[in-house]
Structure 1
Amino acid sequence: MLDFLPNTENLPEILPARKLSARVAGIYVAPGEDFETQATDSLQLEFQGIPRDFHGGYTRRSGGREPWYPRGTEMRNERQVSIVAPDELALVAERMGIAEIRPEWIGANLLLDGVPHLSMLPSGTMLFFRGGVTLKIDAQNGPCRIAGRRVAERAGMADHDAGSLLFPKVAKRLRGLVAWVEKPGRIEAGEEVSVRVPEQWIYGA
């Protein structure tokens, strides 16, 4: 009889799924043709993301993050919502020698408080908002020089070029996450969030 059970001797270590909790500490939207956001009290999300937001839409055009496609290729928009953490922004600001980095400056939509090392949450993590919205994490949001220049400008750095180059270096793995809408609805400021981290393993075969 054939044995269909997997050989578990050589499997990588599997970390169990776990639950965390967070709170919506800030909500932001980019209603125009620029990525910088502005604070708001609530956010309406649909399957295409945030209506009329700079990063909204079912699809988007590929850029430098997708070198496997010709630039401008239409592809699924997995970057509908940008999420950052206050402690990580504070650390990046300290490394840049400035007083603060506001979520708006780098185009964030949500500021989530209460999750240690927010940017290190793995792909597939689910965010269940008390009001009914569900977001699914796609990946870390890699820092870029465009956001770095905006930070340098808003923070009043003397050398904007230096700031734009410094930000990607010191903000790596601290820039937050991008997510897409799995279940639409409305998010309110101060709302509680259940963070469900999936099983994790390192594929090394």
Structure 2
Amino acid sequence: MIFSKKKMTCPLNYDSIPMNRAIEELTFIVFDTETTGFRVNAEDRLLEIGAVRVEGYKVKDKMTFQTFSNPNRLISQEISDLTGIASKDVEGAPSAHEAIRDFFEFLREQKADCLTGHYVSFDELVLKSEMKRTGSHLQMAPSIDTLNLIGYLAPSYDMRDLERYAQLFGTRMYPRHRAVNDALTTAYLFVELLELLRDRKVDTWGELLRVSRGRG
């Protein structure tokens, strides 16, 4: 990880993975964020980061990461009702900059190959927007989005709701709208999708990248 006031680089082994590496040999970190709202490139801020380790086709649900982030603003009643996170819960929490740094340290400790999420472009935008506020530029390798994998496996489905997809694919679900819980739900969905992809002979890093980028 390179960490300075001007640049933070997400510490992944992404670029060094051979294309023929079996998926079962890879380490994924499935992550999720909670925020004060959806305008994260404007007034809304990071509240929480949660993550869980996936080794190939297995969720390591004891290997999780969680941190609050102090948004330096009041949390609306609507968001508190949705997430269960109140302003008092984050009063002593680290800044977004520190929370992201701690998350990246977790990635380094886990020797992560790739990040994964559900509608992960939003979570990436959250992190990048927070770093931009500090005058820093965040560099991230592309993440695997479960939405793209679903689009490959079941292109007729057009929805983003994590819970509905978890129900559809019969995977384990956790209470919604807390970062670790949503990361766990996504992790079990991700593993189910990997199993379905394996049935279609998608079982290497290169093949996973191909289908995740819409190259069916």
Same fold (TM over 0.5): no
Q: Whose helix proportion is higher, 1 or 2?
A: 2
TM-score by length of 2: 0.23
Name whichever structure is richer in strand by fraction: 1
Answer with 1 or 2: which has the greater Rg.
1
Normalised to the residue count of structure 1, the TM-score between the two structures is 0.24
